[in-house]
């Protein structure tokens, strides 16, 4: 499916000539968000020439193949994608895409790439060259699964990694916080102020480093400890003491009171233990292999973008990034060259996710590419609102079979979307037909 690329070396990196013959056909158009079915290298080149996109993407998250040498299947045993590139072939393939992704980012943009340990350090060297090592913001270690009973002579492999880069030193950044638990509150803020009942902790009022200014001078006849300075100038310390914000120990040692009520929460660190893969029977998911936890994507998107910003995922897979970005009122572009991935994404857009137990208990549906475009069966007392505002595009494929399947999308998608959202009431599936009117599911299917 990929278009051949002529290449030349510049500064040790492969640069790519602009391709004029890459065309994409719109199979469904209902909004500015875009879902591309095609080789992501071709799509990224097209986007790099699009003045409405290039330099205007504020967040990119990708979860590319890890060079495992395997072929991954969905829960219903359909091939989703192959991960067979290795060594230099893998690195050159990923490098081509990273160069273009960097170009697409805005100056406030952030880039996250999810990898395991096999190619992590190789890819980081490439990213340091493209983004600049000064724009490397950190590596997140994520616990991906429960402990394993390994037979190999090594430690159990329960983690993978997210490399975080920014385009410049002025990225969009909203520091994430975890909520306080009662246990952590009692441990971190163990004291209660008798006069007010406010909970607080005691922290030093000095900091490392010698200062020659006001913060290095005496306060109440005391100098800062050797090699340190006051965190605040003496006049400010005096005001804090008048407000009762300084705690004096029995031997006259001052410490600052930090109140729980002023805390936004627990600042998130770079080890994430709560976002395991979608891998147990009572978890909602699509059944797509390597599907990531939507709460993890929510954290990343909220931290590194604003409402209305453009988010891009060029290894869209199950569509988690796109669905979460949509829920958080971001614009999005998704790309994948897997037929099964596009199936899964459209299914997710129209029906949401299901308990993974469903994939074990039900027989696989073998009715073709878009058998999924049906009203869902569910017993949940919930409303499932379809994602409607997107355009589906595909390359000129020169494949009559796939062309025919894609040509069938428009009527099927529009039919489902025109039904509105699904409401479960008293165990019956009701579907909106317009103007707030609902009919039973079997009536809607007949219509």
**Cβ atoms of residues 59 and 65 within 8 Å:** no
Confidence band (pLDDT; 50, 70, 90) for 371?
very low
User: What is the three-class DSSP state of 138?
Assistant: strand
**pLDDT higher than threshold 50 for residue 416:** yes
- What percent of the chain is modeled with pLDDT above 70? 70
If you average pLDDT over residues 415-424, what whole number do you get? 55
Per-residue pLDDT, averaged over 147-162, amounts to: 86
Q: How far apart are CA 415 and CA 418, in angstroms?
A: 5
Confidence (pLDDT) at 420:
54
CA angle 126, 130, 133 (to 5 degrees): 80
* 153 CB burial (10 A radius; 0-12, 13-18, 19+): exposed
Tokens of 386: 């379809």
pTM of the predicted protein model: 0.79
Close Cβ partners of 195 (under 8 Å, ≥ 6 residues apart): 244
Is the pLDDT reported for residue 398 higher than 80? no
For the chain, the distance separating the N- and C-terminal CA atoms, rounded to the nearest angstrom, is: 38
The residue with greater pLDDT, 118 or 325, is 325
The mean per-residue pLDDT over the stretch 305-320 comes to 95
Considering only 192-201, 326-335, 359-368, 425-434, which range has the smallest mean pLDDT? 359-368
Reply yes or no on whether the pLDDT at 96 is more than 90: yes
Percent of the chain residues topping a pLDDT of 90 = 53
Angstrom CA distances, 310 to 19, 59, 305, 333, 387, stand at 24, 7, 8, 8, 16
How confident is the model at residue 29, as a pLDDT? 82
Distance CA(101)–CA(53), nearest Å, equals 11
Q: Please state the rounded mean pLDDT for residues 94-100.
A: 94
Q: Which residues on neighbouring strands pair with residue 76, listed in sequence order?
A: none
CA 371 distance to own-chain centroid: 28
Q: Which two tokens stand for residue 36?
A: 């591309």
Is residue 82 within 8 A of residue 71, CB to CB? The reply is yes
Residue 343 banded pLDDT, cuts 50, 70, 90: confident
Residues near 362 by Cβ (< 8 Å), separated by ≥ 6?
none
The average confidence (pLDDT) of the chain is 80
Residue 429 parent element (H or E):
strand 428-434
How far is it, in rounded angstroms, from Cα 194 to Cα 216?
A: 32
Residue partners of 339: CB distance under 8 A and separation at least 6: 37, 369, 402
Cα–Cα distance between 27 and 443 in angstroms, integer?
Answer: 28
- Return the pLDDT at 131: 97
Domains, the chain, ordered by start: 7-176+268-419 (3.40.50.150), 178-262 (no CATH)
pLDDT tens, residue by residue, 219-246: 999 999 999 999 999 999 999 999 999 9
Q: Is the pLDDT of residue 107 over 60?
A: yes
Beta strands in 11-52 (DSSP E): 13-16, 24-29, 33-37
CB within 8 Å of 9: residues ≥ 6 apart: 15
Which of 9-13, 167-171, 355-359 is predicted most confidently? 167-171
Average pLDDT over residues 362-367: 42
Does the pLDDT value for residue 407 go beyond 50?
Answer: yes
């Amino acid at each position: 499916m990929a278009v051949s690329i002529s290449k030349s070396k510049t500064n040790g990196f492969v640069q790519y000539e602009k391709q004029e013959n890459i065309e994409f056909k719109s199979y469904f158009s209902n909004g500015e968000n875009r879902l591309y079915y095609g080789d992501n290298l071709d799509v990224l080149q097209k986007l790099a020439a699009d003045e409405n996109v290039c330099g205007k993407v504020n967040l990119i998250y990708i979860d590319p193949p890890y060079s495992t040498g395997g072929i991954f299947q969905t829960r219903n045993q359909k091939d989703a994608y192959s991960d067979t590139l290795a060594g230099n072939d893998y690195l050159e393939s990923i490098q081509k895409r990273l160069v273009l992704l960097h170009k697409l980012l805005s100056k406030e943009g952030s880039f996250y790439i999810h990898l395991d340990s096999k190619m992590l350090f190789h890819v980081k060297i490439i990213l340091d060259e493209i983004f600049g090592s000064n724009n490397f913001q950190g590596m997140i270690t994520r616990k991906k699964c429960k402990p394993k009973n390994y037979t190999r002579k090594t430690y159990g492999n329960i983690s993978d990694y997210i490399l975080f880069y920014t385009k410049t030193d002025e990225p969009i950044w909203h520091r994430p916080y975890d909520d306080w638990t009662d246990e952590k509150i009692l441990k971190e803020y163990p004291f209660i102020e008798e006069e007010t009942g406010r909970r607080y902790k005691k922290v030093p009022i000095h900091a490392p480093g010698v200062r020659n200014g006001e913060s290095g001078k005496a306060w109440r006849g005391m100098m800062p400890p050797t090699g340190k300075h006051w965190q605040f100038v003496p006049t400010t310390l005096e005001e804090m003491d008048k407000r009762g914000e300084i705690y004096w120990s029995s031997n006259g040692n001052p410490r600052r009171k930090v109140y729980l009520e002023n805390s936004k929460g627990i600042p998130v660190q770079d080890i994430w233990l709560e976002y395991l893969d979608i891998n147990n029977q009572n978890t909602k998911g699509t059944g797509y292999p390597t599907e990531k936890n939507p709460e993890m994507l929510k954290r990343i998107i909220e931290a590194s973008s604003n409402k209305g910003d453009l988010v891009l995922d060029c290894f869209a897979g199950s569509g988690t990034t796109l669905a979460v970005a949509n829920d958080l009122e971001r614009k999005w572009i998704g790309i994948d060259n897997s037929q099964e991935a596009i199936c899964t994404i459209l299914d997710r857009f129209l029906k949401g996710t299901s308990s993974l137990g469903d994939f074990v208990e039900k027989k696989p549906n073998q009715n073709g590419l878009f058998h999924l475009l049906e009203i869902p069966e569910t017993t949940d007392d919930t409303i499932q609102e379809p994602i409607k505002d997107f355009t589906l595009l595909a390359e000129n494929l020169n494949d009559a079979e796939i062309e025919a399947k894609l040509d069938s999308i428009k009527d099927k998608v529009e039919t489902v979307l025109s039904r509105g959202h699904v409401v479960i009431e008293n165990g019956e599936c009701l579907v909106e037909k317009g103007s707030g009117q609902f009919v039973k599911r079997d009536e809607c299917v007949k219509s």
